[in-house]
Structure 1
Amino acid sequence: METNFDVTKSYSANYAQATLFRNVYIWMTLALVITALTSLLVAESPKVIYAIATNQVLFYGLILGELALVWILSANINRFSFATATFMFIAYSILNGVTMSFIFMIYTTSSIALTFFVTAGTFGAMALYGTITKKDLSSWGNILIMALIGLIIASVANWFIKSEMMYWIITYIGVIIFVGLTAYDAQKIKNNLREYGYEINETTQKIALMGALSLYLDFVNLFLYLLRILGSRK
């Protein structure tokens, strides 16, 4: 027979899971807002754009800085405090906004806005599917990660080959990969919070934050690949 204590404990766990799950999407959205605002501010500053565009050390330093932040955060999340992890997530969002500011030099503002809404709709549909489906998507993980590694290798190779056909093949495959990763990550986050999110504490908040980072990366990459297809160049 279930006691009042058991009912209270179950309610508390459900409340914690719901709160953490909501925080995943709040933090992801805030990171996207920070990235968007940073991109707009940098794009409106010709001096900053010129400095980055004409200084390869600075440009590649920003790229390497982004990669280093994600790697360090992912590899050391258990050692960092939640406050430190949050700061690094915000720092990454700002750095990503600086590098993404160049899209405003290449594409029209209207096509960027259109692509953003298409991305939001696609992302939302796949995240919802990953959250509510009863199908186990864990088998997608290895396939999508291997496909992503292949995509990165192909992208680097095409940097030298400069094949237009390869460019478009990479683009469409990239869209498919990140659509799949959105559903996979959404389900993985739900399962992780269901398993560990029995209360709101330092550890579970870091789990939710890393979930937000995963979905943020899915959204940004999906947006960039869709922009290749839907974007109108100036």
Structure 2
Amino acid sequence: MTYGQQPGARRPDGAQPYGAAPQYSMYGDPNQGAGAMRPDAGGVYTIQPTAVTERAEHVSMTRAYGEMTIALVLTGLVAIVTQMTGLYMRFIAATGALGVWLPMIVEVGIAIYLGMRVMNMRSSTARVWFYVYAALMGFSLSVIFSAYSITTIGYAFLISAVFYFALTMFGLTTKANMLKAGPVLLIGLVVLIVTQVVLMFVAPTNTMLKVVAAIGVVLFAGMTIYDAQFTKRVFAQYASQGPEMIKRVSILCALNLYLDFINMFLYILQLLGLSRD
């Protein structure tokens, strides 16, 4: 600004007034952290993520999906070994009705414990609990080999993997904020659980089971998109809090992503409907 010009007067080029404070806008979500400032037209500065920030988020996302993949592999291996050795059937024979419910109760307890305590425990401890959960899930899921053919299980897994990958890519690339659908998805999950509990005490028809399974697929498709965006958002929020915190967040996100895939796989498997019964 030169002498003799009044503060706030518009410059000849129509840009920002003389003496006015520069305007700033945040690129993307304000929780993503600061990057490099770049001037826009009209003197507006935009804070854009630097290459270092983007790389850190990419590494964090890769870590979460990597943890999920390891857990899925562990679940599959435990399920196969349990079926081959007949361990689950011997467990049921030894424990009776309690053996049917006990693994599920323990799984729910571990999931709740991890969800509540993962941010306050060492990342190595959280990882051990997560892998124990995945192994126990494999032990319980070994019963699908008695209910469905290997071909059906293989098809269900392949369809689930392709579908899950497509949904994840959509969630990470779309500009739509799918996090707003969280309350709707939560209500849908509660309704689905209540419906399945009710069906345990009645004699459902195949049509009813197919409808419930289809609703389950749609619901967890939405949950997959939601958790993909949630994972990206939460890593951006904790990016500046050190590697140990990022490892803890990775376990929490991996648990959510893992549950999305497992549930989607089970509902798709039920939809295929080639039960040996």
Match of 1:43 among 66, 74, 83: 83
- The residue identity in structure 2 corresponding to 1:132 is T
- 1:163-178 mapped onto 2 (5 Å cutoff): 163-164=204-205, 165-178=207-220
**Which has more radius of gyration?**
2
- The residue identity in structure 1 corresponding to 2:247 is Q
Moved more, 190-199 or 223-232: 190-199
2:73 paired with 1:33 = yes
Alignment match, 2:91: 52
CA contact (8 A) 2:88 2:140 kept: no
CA contact (8 A) 1:112 1:231 kept: no
SS at match of 1:24: helix
2:194 paired with 1:153 = yes
CA contact (8 A) 1:28 1:212 kept: yes
Q: Deviations over 1:145-190 (max 9, x none)?
A: 1100010001000100122243222111101000110011101111
Alignment match, 1:78: 119
- The residue identity in structure 1 corresponding to 2:88 is I
Alignment match, 2:59: 19
CA contact (8 A) 1:197 1:204 kept: yes
SS at match of 1:160: coil
Q: Deviations over 1:71-112 (max 9, x none)?
A: 001011122111111000000000000000000011000110
SS at match of 2:222: helix
Alignment match, 1:3: none
Moved more, 56-65 or 83-92: 56-65
Alignment match, 1:137: 178
1:14 deviates by 2.7
1:53 deviates by 3.4
CA contact (8 A) 1:108 1:231 kept: no
Q: Deviations over 1:195-222 (max 9, x none)?
A: 2224651111111211111010000000
Q: Larger relative contact order (C-alpha < 8 A, sep ≥ 6)? A: 1
Alignment match, 1:115: 156
Q: Please report the RMSD computed on the Cα atoms of aligned residues, expressed in angstroms.
A: 1.6
Alignment match, 1:212: 254
Q: Which runs of 5+ in 1 are unaligned?
A: 1-5
Larger strand proportion, structure 1 or 2?
2
Q: Stretches of 4+ moved more than 4 A in 1?
A: none
Give the whole-Å Cα distance in 1 for the aligned partners of 2:61 and 2:242. 11
Q: Which runs of 5+ in 2 are unaligned?
A: 1-34, 37-48
Q: Percent identity?
A: 28
CA contact (8 A) 1:158 1:166 kept: no
Alignment match, 1:99: 140
> CA 1:199–1:16 in structure 2 vs 1: closer, same or farther (change >3 Å)?
farther
CA contact (8 A) 1:42 1:101 kept: yes
Larger helix proportion, structure 1 or 2?
1
Q: Deviations over 1:98-131 (max 9, x none)?
A: 0000000110001101110000000000011000
